[in-house]
Structure formats: structure tokens, C-alpha cells
Amino acid sequence: MGLLGSDLVRFLQKNYKVDGIARENYDTFRGKYYDVVINANGNSKRFWANEHPFEDFEKSTFSVYQSLFDFSFGIYVFISSPDVYEDFLSPDSTKENRIIDPQKLSPYGFHKYLGELIVRRCKSSYLILRSAAILGTGLKKGPIFDILCGNKPFVGLDSQIQLVTTEEIANVVQYLLGRLSKNEIYNVGGRGTFLLKNMAKYIGSIVPPDSGVEKQIYEMNVEKLGGIYPLKTSEEYLQEFFVSSGKLLSLKP
């Protein structure tokens, strides 16, 4: 079970009876009914997916179809990605009601979008959450992880990244279920972005310099969710991650 799935089980089981289903125990639970199924499965490695599109299709799209028929449930929650947008650089181009052109998506984004379409077509009760970059206790990849480990990140230090914690995703899921929300799509992430080079003030040292790596900007429009739920900033979610994981070494004013 991956980063998000493991943490969702840990946080949600405080208020719900939860079965954590992974590849190893999938057949044990196959055929069961659940009030809610949360699909946090699928490949999360963008670079790998774009280099191995067929394998990514199996992990990120076929597995969605399979789960819809292997379980019965009241509502299906699918964790998707901002990569379903052709242009994920600004809030103006990433509203949930934006019409998406599949021809302009990367293999990774296309497969996530196909997963969304499958969910919307096959079941009448669903929630689709397009999640920003995720921070959690089992973090093992990504630019934040690389910098904490003293490695050079694979993206430029001028990159601006929208962040959210696994705990906040769990809180959002509970909130939306409590509102009896269904058949909706929500962008889930912090308000605004975090500038990667600003990691220096948290780790107490200079961030390893980048050379020749691309600058990335991810910023989804979160007005829809933010209008009903008190979202924090991306930097506040980063700070919460540091505190909860014990990784906060220093914080300069």
C-alpha cells in the first residue's frame, strides 16, 4: 500500500471501520460490499509513466476498471491528479468544469483522466479528488523528499509546487461524505504554491543547486473546495508535515 493509502487507513480508522486493501490481500476482500470505496491506487511516478505508457495504463487505468467490478459500494472516491489538465500552471486553467482535450495530455495525465471517465460512466455515486503533491509519513519521492535527503531535485529550484498532506485529504474526504456530496469533482490542495528554493529556511542549510533541470509550476484552482472547506496554504501544509513527521530541523524568521 502506498503513501496515501496507508495514511488514509490510519486517519480514517479513527472514525470508521476500515479495510486496507492492497495487492497482497486483494483476493481476500474481493466481492465485499462497502459504504465507501476510496481508490488511492495507481502509479504516482510521472516520469516513469511517460516512459512506460503501457505499464502505466495497467497500473493507473485498468486497475480502476477492475475495482469497480470487484467490489460493490454506496459511493466510490477516486484520487486523481492535476495532470488531467492540459495546462496546470495557474488557477485560471484548472477549474474543475474545464473541458479537457485528451490529445494534449501526457500519458500519465491521460491515464488518470481515463480513470475519471471510467468512474463517472460506471457508477452513479462518486467523488473525484484531483490532489496536489502529497506529503505524508511515508514520503519516499519528490522534490521535498530529495532536498531533505540532501539530493539534487529533479526539478528546478524556481519550481512552484502546490502541496497538501495526507491527513488533510482524509479530513476532506470525511467532510464531503458528511455533506453527502456525490457526483462531484474537487481540486484538493493548498492555497497558492510553495517556491522550492525556500526549503533552505527549513532545513537550516543551502538547498543543493540544480543544473539544467526544468522549472515546474503546479497550481490548481481550489475555489470550489475552498468555498465550503477551510483550506490552508501550501506552505502551512509543508510546516504541518515537518512537525508531524519530526523532520523540522530549524525555522528561520
Mean pLDDT of 51-67: 89
For residue 19, is pLDDT > 90? Answer: yes
Place of cell 486493501: 21
CA dihedral 62, 177, 2, 115 (to 10 degrees): 20
pLDDT value of position 210: 67
Instruction: Give Cβ neighbours of residue 212 (< 8 Å, ≥ 6 apart).
Output: none
Give the confidence band of 251 by pLDDT, cuts at 50, 70, 90: very low
Give the confidence band of 147 by pLDDT, cuts at 50, 70, 90: confident
Q: How many CB atoms lie within 10 A of CB 188?
A: 24
Which residues, in sequence order, are bridge partners of residue 75?
Answer: 36
Give tens-digit pLDDT for 101-142: 999 999 999 999 999 999 999 877 999 999 999 999 888 888
Q: How many CB atoms lie within 10 A of CB 106?
A: 17
Give tens-digit pLDDT for 185-241: 999 999 999 999 999 888 876 676 666 678 899 999 999 999 999 999 999 999 999
Helices then strands (H, E): number in the chain?
Answer: 11, 8
For residue 248, is pLDDT > 90? Answer: no
Domains of the chain: 3-245 (3.40.50.720)
Mean pLDDT of 9-35: 95
